[in-house]
Amino acid sequence: MLILDRRSWLAQVFQLRGTTLAVTWKRVGVAFLVAEGVTYASSHLQDWTPKLTPLAFSLIGLALSIFLGFRNNTSYDRFWEGRKLWGRMVNVSRTFTRQVLTLVGPRMVDEEKNHALSADERVELDAIHRKLILAQAGYVHAFRHHLREEDALAELEGMLPPELAAELELELNRPIAILQWMGDQLRALYDRGWIHPMHLPVLEDSLTEMTGVQGACERIKSTPIPGSYTVLMHRIVLLYCIGLPFGIVDQVGGWTPVVVTLVAYAFYGLEAVGTEIEDPFGKDPNDLPLSALSRMIEVNLRQRLGPDEALPPLLEPENGVLQ
């Protein structure tokens, strides 16, 4: 995610990294060169220059603006839905951790209120809590890597039990495999009597919520805007920016390259923004900061394990971009 200095208007105006100009400058440059050529031909080779009416370009430009606006609204809806889904992932991760710490364990007292945890039970309970909470943190990281089509095993080594990490090598959907393992652990604790019958559905609901969030993100990831629509936009914008100088050179004269460059920057920029945020889970400068969100969740969960738990640092922007 691009992090701007919102206190300085000029700093935002001259920001280059992560902006559309860094992507579209070659296309804008081509439009400028074509406009320069048309302007020169209009001045020196008037019989060669085609004469086009600016009215047609006004109508086409209006329609093109509407189409680009629709495309960008659709892309932003996908971006914002992805952000809301990851907000739900943050919440359910914290909720599941709290539920594990408060609902998983042997009864603190029996009906006569004369039983407390033994030292061995306390050690075992702490180990179970730690195993489940770190597995939840590992799930979040695996989910991020799954959306970005990366290999997550190296990062998960310190969070997951060795036997689970070994099983994940053969899994196509590793986050779902981790959720299955967590569900199996909860069922074993229930069979042992360490989870109350009324509490097991509560814990299961949290796992179900994570599955729902993952499925919704996978739907966004695997269903892009139809390619024919994208190709059509590319072609129309290109033809419009190349043809515009022929329609305005008689009215604008020597300012034609300037006007065409500004129009090309606007249209190519809008097109590039829609293309970039269409998939909000990538690593482009304007995509969601999934690495930072995953690290924040991990830190939040580890803090619940006690004051002695070593915490990794939160991620900071690098060159104005938070990954």
Task: Please indicate, yes or no, whether residues 229 and 218 belong to a single structural domain of this protein.
Answer: no
The mean pLDDT of 165-179, rounded to a whole number, is 92
Task: Please indicate, yes or no, whether residues 135 and 192 belong to a single structural domain of this protein.
Answer: yes
Cα angle 320, 219, 209 (rounded to 5 degrees) comes to 90
The pair of three-digit structure tokens given for residue 75, joined into one six-digit string: 């892309």
* Phi and psi torsions of 302, nearest 5°: -65, -35
Q: Please tell me the pTM assigned to this model.
A: 0.88
Task: Please indicate, yes or no, whether residues 230 and 146 belong to a single structural domain of this protein.
Answer: no
pLDDT at 240 over 60: yes
Task: Please indicate, yes or no, whether residues 170 and 294 belong to a single structural domain of this protein.
Answer: yes
For 144-158, what is the HEC assignment?
Answer: HHHHCCCCCHHHHCC
Query: CA 281, 283, 285, 288: dihedral to nearest 10 degrees?
Result: 30
Task: Please indicate, yes or no, whether residues 291 and 147 belong to a single structural domain of this protein.
Answer: yes
Task: Please indicate, yes or no, whether residues 203 and 146 belong to a single structural domain of this protein.
Answer: yes
Q: Indicate the number of domains in the chain.
A: 2
Task: Please indicate, yes or no, whether residues 217 and 100 belong to a single structural domain of this protein.
Answer: yes
Tell me what pLDDT residue 211 has. 97
Torsion sign (Cα): 74, 75, 76, 82 = positive
Task: Please indicate, yes or no, whether residues 135 and 89 belong to a single structural domain of this protein.
Answer: yes
Per cent of the chain over pLDDT 70 is: 89
Task: Please indicate, yes or no, whether residues 134 and 253 belong to a single structural domain of this protein.
Answer: no
The mean pLDDT of 298-312, rounded to a whole number, is 92
Task: Please indicate, yes or no, whether residues 106 and 202 belong to a single structural domain of this protein.
Answer: yes
Distances (CA, A) of 247 to 45, 238, 242: 16, 15, 10
Q: Residue 255 is part of which domain span?
A: 18-78+225-277
Evaluate whether residue 6 is within a structural domain.
no
pLDDT digits (tens, 9 = 90+) for 186-202: 999 999 889 999 999 99
Q: Does residue 197 contact residue 126 with C-beta atoms inside 8 Å?
A: no
Evaluate whether residue 309 is within a structural domain.
no
Evaluate whether residue 311 is within a structural domain.
no
